[in-house]
Every structure is written in structure tokens, then in C-alpha cells.
Structure 1
Amino acid sequence: MHSALDVPAGEEIAFLHRLDGVQGEAAIAVTDRGRLRASSFLDGRERFWRSQAVLPLQLNGQGAYPARRFIFHVGFCGSTLLARLIDHPGHVLVLKEPQCLADIAGQRAALVAGEGVAPIGALIDHALGSLGAVGEPELAIVVKPTNWVNSLLDDLCAPGRIDHALFVSMDIRAYLGAVFRGGRDRLAFCTRLAGEIAPALAGGPALLAKAAGSEGDPLDRAARIVALLHAMQETLFDRAIAANAWPSAVRIDFAHLTQHPAAVLRRARRLLGLGVGGEDDERAFALMSRHTKDPASPFEPSERLRQDREIEQHHAARFDAALEWLETTGPLAT
């Protein structure tokens, strides 16, 4: 999808869109804050730029105003809704799924092997500096990366690198239902993501190979992989929270977000160090009626509930087996 965004033109800014830490190149997009705010994805699925240029990568460290507020998530758990709730024109700009961080995650194996133009930490610092420069002192920047970036959590959340973070997740059975509700494309995405995240955990690749197996129904194997993916992401969240001594309140559950959006918004703003608010209830409940990734479309909770019930009825035994398998594997190494 490459749709033009119907937003008023604003002051032009240079935005780090792509980053190739192996070849030493960067794609710089000419855009404005209005286009960045309106985009549900800053990964190229939506055209948020006026022009782009590929230039030699010039590392500049973290810069004067690095991005130091983050929303991490397991996927399909309301993180885009939370991002839109937190975004506050004139005060807070949430950058949703910038591709430059996903690029570093995708190059992680090569970078760890020393095949990059710089260490992985230097590339992360450059990305944080570039993303933060979009706001500078007058506008707080919050970054909601794709969950593809969770493989980078040990480096991205190294103590002292970022100041505030939220971790959005959901019950593992609900996660299985959300992934299966998305059909073949979502299952394929999660299988690829599990392959990216597994090497970040001791024993992860071996567990993934066991989950994938070569025998049995393909959907049974997919359910095991999805269950393991949820557990791996939760383990990485636990590790990041412990490393920074963040409070348990930084964890946000999807069910709580959907049931009490205004209360979650107030907590999220406090934990992210954002001193704005005042119209929480009105904004929260207005947004709940729209599709978060396509605000022009209405969202029907009753229809979503019907879909979830159908998925559970059809796959209940499969989900039971996947969760039992996960339990028998024992805890993931932290």
C-alpha cells in the first residue's frame, strides 16, 4: 500500500527512513510532522514522504535530543490504539513503526558478526538521535517500533540508552486467537518473526526447531510457533524491565486498555514522563469507535467479538495442545 496522505503541508524536515548498517547507506525522506503523525506505519506501506534520497551513512551519535521514550509490544495487542491516544498535537508526536529500527533488527546477525560499518550500539544511537531530532526541544517524541525490533531489546534497552518504556501485551490464548484471526499472512509473519527473535535467547533456535517440527498438522505447528513467539517476547520484555529497574506498571495489558482506555492513557503518560492531558476520557472513547490502523473506518467491537468466538470454537483443541506443549518445554532462559 502506497497511499498519499491527505494532510496539510507543514515545515519540511529530513527523516531517517531506511538504514543499511552493512553497506553504509541511509534513505532520507523529506516530509513534515503532519504526515508523520497521520501515518499508521512509517515503514513504507504508506507514502509519508515528498521525496527521498539514498546517501552515505554519516553516524552522528545520539544527537542533542535523542528519542528516549518507547512503546514496545508483542503485536496485535492494541499498541497502535495506545500510540494514537498518547499522540497530542503541539506536545507529543508518536512515530509508529519507523523502518530504520526494523532495518537494524533485520541486520542484527550480520552486525553482531562484525560485518557492519559500525557496532550495533552506534547504529542504534544514530537512529535514536535522528528520530528524536524530529521533535527537538518543543515536541516530545515517542517511538512505537514494530515488534520486529524486539530482537534488539537487549541493546535498545541497555541501561542508560532510553529513559521511559511501556510494554504492551495480552493473554497468550488471546494472542493465539488474534494471530489465527489474521489468517495465512499473519501466521506467516509470526513464523518469520519467531525466526528473527529466537537467536536473541539462549536455546531459542532449538526450541523453535522443536515447535516447527516436521510432523503433524501444519496449523498445529503454527500454533506452537505462535505460542513460543509470545513467550519469547515476554521473556525479552522481562529482561529489559529488570535491566532498567522499571516498575511492573510499565506492562500494559490489551484487555485493560480496551476496557479502561482513559485510565490506561493516564498511566501511560505518567510512565512516559509526558505532562499533558486533561481531555483523556473524551479522546479515548472517541478513538475506540474508529479502526486504529485506518481511522477513516469504523470499528465494531461486536463484530470483533464474534470473530474471536469463531476462532476459539474452531481452534480450541489446537490452542490447548500448543499451550500444553509450551508448558512442558520449561521456562525460557533469561
Structure 2
Amino acid sequence: MTQDFRQQNPSAEWLAHRYDPTHDAIQFHVIDRELRRSTPFLTDDCLAPKHPPLVIKRSDLTVNPSPIHFIFHSAYCCSTLLASAFDLPGSAMSLKEPVLLNDLVGWRQRGAAPDAVSQVLDSGLSVLARPFQTGEATVIKPSNVVNGLATAMMSLRPQARAILLYAPLEAYLTSIARKGMTGRLWVRELLSRQLVDGLVELGFTPRDYLLHTDLQAAAVGWLAQHRLFAIMADRWPDRVRTLDSEQLIADPLASLDAASAFLGIAPPAGGFTPVIETVFQRNAKDGSPFKPGQREGDRQQGQQLHKEEIERVAQWAQLVARNAGLPDLLPMPLLAN
């Protein structure tokens, strides 16, 4: 089976899961479409592979190019919902946070040569974008820790388009605060990675980061991503659209119609209404149903509990953004503001 696999394009059931830089090899697992659809992320914890991976040296792989697009995001902005909506057999297949791309980030941050990372990233995108059906585009939603490679991915795939999805700052801070210590540790880890990637150019000194509160660290990370998205939208105005998560939730039908038109992906025969009635009515992480008003109620509860801290950090972040010359609103919106 391994020999046949090497002599032809690997079928879509074989998910390109991990990259091994020591052997310049890619590890594959058989993950069918239904499991990819039902799991929130393509991680080991969610997939729980039952068999050892099939390991193929990168030089042994031959893959035909396939259309690919991206959903880059700021985290806690309903990106999993948006990606799930583009699992459209015959039109598109979505991949939610494939670990292969995270592996390349770690490899790069450990000192891998930029040219080598670019070559492997090119191969990685090719083996990830293997559709289940002929003619399907692949929509990849990387983890937001992969945002440092976003411009490289767009450069390697000049036909690709991208939706840049983000939560408003106060909504983002509320999500972090509601998650307690887990959320506060996560934003500091994210910030440490952004600093290594050179994404944080906001006028701070290294000592400043030690003096920031947890929510200030969260705001700095959010501003770094906001700056990156603004740069991408200015660089590729015909290939990038920005979307506020509040707009996505308030008007999912308009958002999905506009996104599918922009990405060139045919909507389902009955339109996106049935997709919204299934995908948007459930928690993207655990599949539990949302009660009417639950999202807004949960957010308001979190805002009230941490109101003073969130407001003060948001005001501070506005000053930081102004001093750094960041726009209040990102350019190239998917929907009219």
C-alpha cells in the first residue's frame, strides 16, 4: 500500500497530519470526511488516531495543484463556525487547524532556515489541499499561532483568497477573561510566539511586556494581529476581505453569501439557510445546541464580571493603536460597514 501511495497523488482520506523535520517526512492518518466535519480541530486530542502514521518522505510525494483559500483569524471569533460552513461536498472542503502548519511554526521558531521553511510550507499546502471530490476547493483555517506564516502562504499561492476574521477588541478580551487562568496563560504564550515571529511592532521595550497585566498582554496580541491583517488587506486588496465576528453572527446569511462569492465557491443548491440552521445553532467546540440568546447572554455575564478591567484595557489599547498608526477599522470589509 505504501508503494502505491508513493506512485500517485495521495487520496484525500489520508490527512497530512504532522511534519518531521529530522527526516523531512510527512506523517499521514486516514481521517474520513465525516470525522473532519464533526471534530472542532484536526489535532491529536480531537482525532485520537488509533494506528501508527504512514510516514512518507517529502521527496517521494507528487501532488497535483488544487484550488486553496484561507480563513485567518484572531481566535475567539467564530472562525470554526465559518470554516465548518464551507464543508460543501462538490464545492469545497474545509480543514480546521491542521497540526502540520503548527509544526512548521515550531520548526521555524527553533531556527530553521527561511528557504527551507518556505519549501516545506509549499509542499505542506499541496498535500493538505487534496479534495474528496474533483472540483472542490480546499478552505484551510489555520490556528492563529500560524498567522506569522500567513503572508508566506498567500505569496506561495497567488490564486488563493483569504477571509481575515476577527472579534472586536472588547469581545475578545471578554472571551479571555471568562476562561480564567487558562485563557490568561494562553494569551501570554501567543504573545511570546508573536514576538519571535516579529509581529509585534507597537513601540514597547522587552521590559514592558513583563509589566503588562494578562489582559494587556491579550490586547497587545490582538493589536499585533490587527496590524498584520491591515498590512495584508493593503497588500492584496483584490485577494483579501476582512470580517468582524459580530457581523458574522448578526447576519450569517449575508456573510456566507458574500464569502462564497468572494472565494468563488458555489453555495449549496438550497442556499446557506440549511447550513446556518445546523452549523450556527451549535457550539463549534463540543456540538452542544445553543439556546436563543445564549451567546449574547454568556458574553454579557463575562463583561459584567470583568467590566472595569476590560474597559480600562480597551481604552489603553486604543491609545497604543493610535500611537502605532493602526486603523480603527480594517480595510477591505467583506460586508458594508
Change in Cα spacing, 1:60 to 1:153, as seen in structure 2 (3 Å) is farther
1:84 aligns with 2:81: no
Query: 1: CA distance between counterparts of 2:12 and 2:304?
Result: 51
Check 1:59–1:240 CA distance in 2 against 1; reply closer, same or farther (3 A cut). Answer: farther
Contact 2:160 2:239 in 1 (8 A): no
Residue 50 of structure 1, CA deviation: 5.2
SS in structure 1 opposite 2:164?
Answer: strand
Paired AA for residue 151 in structure 2? D
Give me the whole-angstrom Cα distance separating, in 2, the residues matched to 1:48 and 1:208. Answer: 42
Mean Cα displacement is larger for which, 32-41 or 260-269? 32-41
Does residue 287 in structure 1 map to residue 242 in structure 2? no
Cα gap change, 1:276 to 1:159, in 2 (>3 Å): same
The answer as to 2:75 corresponding to 1:75 is yes
Q: Which amino acid aligns with 2:260?
A: R
Report the more deviating stretch, 24-33 or 169-178: 24-33
Report matched runs for 1:23-62 at 5 Å: 24-47=24-47, 49=49, 51-53=51-53, 55=55, 57-59=57-59
**Pairing partner for 1:331 from 306, 324, 332:** 324
Aligned partners of 1:22 and 1:107 also within 8 Å = no
Measured after TM superposition, the shift of residue 183 of structure 1 is 2.0
| Counterpart residue number, 1:254 | 245
> 1:258 Cα deviation (Å)?
0.8
- Which residue pairs with 1:4 in the alignment? none
Instruction: Tell me what 2:214 maps to.
Output: 222
Tell me the CA shift for residue 202 of structure 1. Answer: 6.1
- The DSSP-based 3-state class of the residue aligned with 1:298 is coil
- 1:300-315 equivalence runs, <5 A: 300-315=291-306
Structure 2: runs of 5 or more not aligned? 1-10, 328-337
* Alignment pair present for 1:233 and 2:225: yes
Distance in 2, matches of 1:136 and 1:12, equals 9
Displacement after TM superposition at 1:42 (Å): 0.4
Measure the CA separation in 2 of the matches of 1:31 and 1:208.
45
Q: Kindly provide the amino acid, as one letter, of the partner of residue 324 in structure 2.
A: P
> Judging changes above 3 Å, is the alpha-carbon distance between structure 1 residues 104 and 285 closer, same or farther for their aligned structure 2 residues?
same
**Match of residue 129 from structure 1:** 126
Note if contact 2:72-2:150 (Cα within 8 Å) is conserved in structure 1: no
Amino acid at match of 1:264: S
User: Percent identity, aligned pairs only?
Assistant: 23
Q: How far apart, CA to CA, are the structure 1 residues paired with 2:36 and 2:127?
A: 14
Label 1:86 to 1:55 Cα distance change in 2 as closer, same or farther (>3 A): closer
Give the aligned partner of residue 266 of structure 1: 257
| More displaced 10-residue stretch of structure 1: 35-44 or 266-275 | 35-44
For residue 43 of structure 2, give the secondary structure of its aligned residue in structure 1. coil
When residues 275 and 12 of structure 1 are mapped into structure 2, their CA distance, relative to the original with a 3 A threshold, is closer
Computed over aligned residues only, the root mean square deviation of the Cα atoms, in angstroms, reads 2.8
Query: What residue in structure 2 maps to residue 207 of structure 1?
Result: 204
Contact 2:203 2:324 (8 Å CA) reproduced:
no
Q: Identify the residue that residue 299 of structure 1 maps to in structure 2.
A: 290
Deviations 1:53-98 (A, max 9, x none): 2636314789322452111110010111111222213332111110
The alignment status of 1:143 with 2:140, answered yes or no, reads yes
Amino acid at match of 1:147: N
Rate the CA distance shift 1:213–1:62 in 2: closer, same or farther, 3 A: farther
Please say if residues 208 and 225 of structure 1, whose CA atoms lie closer than 8 Å, have aligned partners that are also in contact: no
Q: Secondary structure at the match of 1:137?
A: coil
More strand by share: 1
Q: Contact 1:92/1:139 (CA < 8 Å) preserved in 2?
A: yes
Counterpart CA distance in 1 for 2:66 and 2:135 is: 13
3-state SS in 1 of match to 2:58: coil
CA separation in 2, counterparts of 1:105 and 1:64? 24
Does the residue aligned with 1:269 lie in a helix, a strand or coil?
helix
Q: Which residue identity lines up with residue 152 of structure 2 in the other structure?
A: D
1:12–1:333 Cα change, 3 Å: closer
Q: Output the CA distance in 1 between the equivalents of 2:142 and 2:205.
A: 24
- Please list every run of 5 or more consecutive structure 1 residues that lacks an aligned counterpart in the other structure: 1-10, 215-219
Deviation of 1:104 (Å)? 0.8
With over 3 angstroms needed to count, the CA separation of the structure-2 counterparts of 1:160 and 1:132, relative to structure 1, is closer
After TM superposition, list the pairs within 5 Å mapping 1:170-189 onto structure 2: 170-189=167-186
